[in-house]
Structure 1
Amino acid sequence: MKKVSRTSKKGFTLVELLVVIGIIGLLAAIILPKFTGYTQKAIQKEATTQARTIYTYLSSHYAEKGSYPSAAASGGSNDGLIAAAGVTAKTDDTLHVTAYNDATGEFTFTLGRGGKTYQVAYDANGKLTETPPAS
């Protein structure tokens, strides 16, 4: 039987493990707040993409028929534009079109997710305005 001395044991000491755990914790503390910001930006971009889909629908309708669709023709409410444009909600999302003007094609689109509301508006010239949720 081979005799093992104390100095030849392999492994990590408790101090080394605690240092590594501390470094991982520090990195997590730095990265997680940034990740939250990236998540909010991604949701805002998703709202913008959905609003662009509605804008494209309205523009093509205008190009084909010479006028924007009325709310009545879109299911009786402004939110009917969402379905007409083919925009679908993810689970627990709320989608609304507010302030739709069927004479000019201006509208405001809101996406609600996680208790926050992301808003995108298009004016009569097709200019986009994004309004992120208040922090």
Structure 2
Amino acid sequence: MIRKIHEAREEEGFTLIELLVVVIIIGILAAIAIPTFLNQREKAWQSAAKSDLRNSAVVMEEHFNDTGSYANYAGTFKTSDGVTVTIAATPAASTTVYCLNADHAKLGAAGSVDFHLNSTVGKPAANACA
């Protein structure tokens, strides 16, 4: 009878080593997955800023088609949550060039990436307008 009780005790539950191995494996998987997830969020915020920048460029082109100039655009740009699009330099009435800046609030000061688009380049680029 004592032998049966002793054998039953040996077979139930997990050993401390087995539990430690599982915890270590979960820790390694988390160390791999969490930075990847955070990086994808940052890329999504950057994509939102670029998309809003392109949409704002369309608004500027519509203004040019209506008035013949990029100057004196007084409207605002519709943007995604957290994205700010600004006209970096207000062009003179005679110019046919504009430059827009876009930034996402969630990128923060340390990870902030300003994107700019001007009418001569035609696609978003990193950093601010020159």
**TM-score scaled by length of structure 2:** 0.70
**Whole-Å separation in 1 of the counterparts to 2:52 and 2:101:** 8
TM-superposition CA deviations, 1:2-23 (whole Å, max 9, x none): x7522443x3222222111101
Paired residues of 1:96 and 1:111 also in contact (CA < 8 A)? no
Distance 1:65 1:108, change over 3 A: closer
**Which residue of structure 1 lines up, in the alignment, with residue 112 of structure 2?**
117
Q: CA RMSD in A?
A: 2.6
2:46 corresponds to: 44
Rounded to whole Å, the distance in 1 between the matches of 2:47 and 2:23 is 35
Structure 1 stretch displaced more, 102-111 or 16-25:
102-111
- Give the aligned partner of residue 63 of structure 1: 65
After superposition, what is the alpha-carbon deviation per residue over 1:60-101, rounded to whole angstroms, capped at 9, x for unaligned?
12223322241xx51xxxxxx5x2x222553xx655431343
The equivalent residue for 2:89 is 99
Larger relative contact order (Cα-Cα within 8 Å, sequence gap ≥ 6): 2
**1:12 counterpart SS class:** coil
Percent identity of paired positions between Structure 1 and Structure 2: 28
Q: 8 Å contact 1:111–1:118 — kept in the other structure?
A: yes
Matched residues, number: 117
Give TM-score, length-normalised by structure 1: 0.68
The higher radius of gyration belongs to 2
User: 2:117, 2:47 → 1: CA distance?
Assistant: 15
For 2:45 and 2:98, how far apart are their aligned partners in 1?
A: 22
Q: Unaligned regions of 5+ residues in structure 1, if any? A: 75-80
Cα deviation for residue 57 of structure 1 reads: 0.6
> What is the match of residue 78 of structure 1?
none
Gapped runs of 5+ residues in structure 2? none
